[in-house]
Amino acid sequence: MSINIDAFNKMTPDALRHFWQYREIAAKNQESKGMSDQGNRSRVTAGKNLDGFIQMIKQLIVDNGISDVSIYSQGKSNLVIPGFFRPVKNWDLLVIVKNQLLAAIEFKSQVGPSFGNNFNNRVEEAIGNATDLNTAFREGAFGESQKPFVGYFFILEECEKSLSPVRFTSPHFQTFPEFSETSYAVRYDIFCRKLVQERLYDSACLLLTNKSNYKNGNYRSLSELTSPKSFILSLASKIAVFSSVL
């Protein structure tokens, strides 16, 4: 069985450019209307800054044997699947073939200047979503099918504030040592690694992008397990297997 990751190699630079350029366009549009939000929220309220990465993943799935008509990334009603702890959940990308759920992927991002405000929310949200989907699968919500690929794709701004160690206090109990003197970038990397190690997600990616050099398509990761390429290889392999037996 061969897999094809050409889409990742060809489309990631454009996805990075779209990410940063769309944020600026959204901010300028709101500012021109006198609607600018606090804390850079205006740069993400339009919700389209991750479209380049979603399109790259869609092409990767097509290249590995799944028809594009089976890939859903638009329209809220098309992105809904059953939950276990709640009736339904919207995902960012779904792959559904012959009434079988093959993949569910969540795309998230965070850009400064404040990184502490959303870190805990992102952690709790990701853990809850995966637990909900995996339990729903176990209880037969998606019929008689193989376990779907569950993915988490996270983009983080690489800057001084995301790379600088941040202190915390735990007055009653000792924290796990890997969190000592860590930056938010390292904490996100630990988080993504543990999502995979605890089998909540099949793959979790942390992509660091710097606003000053995104035009060159540059990015980096902090560990092999959480690298974008590792995510892509894991997804492409799973999709290729699915497509060969459908």
Question: 193 near 176, Cβ under 8 Å?
Answer: no
Joined together, the tokens standing for residue 5 give 């990751």
Joined together, the tokens standing for residue 147 give 């376990």
CA-CA distance, 94 to 110, in Å (whole number)? 22
pLDDT single digits (tens) 164-216:
999 999 999 999 999 999 999 999 999 999 999 999 999 999 999 998 888 88
Selection from 100-104, 142-146, 166-170 with the highest mean pLDDT: 100-104
pLDDT single digits (tens) 14-51:
999 999 998 888 767 766 666 555 544 444 444 589 99
Joined together, the tokens standing for residue 243 give 């497509």
Question: 166 near 184, Cβ under 8 Å?
Answer: yes
pTM of the model: 0.91
Joined together, the tokens standing for residue 3 give 């897999």
CA-CA distance, 237 to 142, in Å (whole number)? 21
How far is C-alpha 221 from the chain's CA centre? 14
Dihedrals phi, psi of 4, to nearest 5 degrees = -125, 120
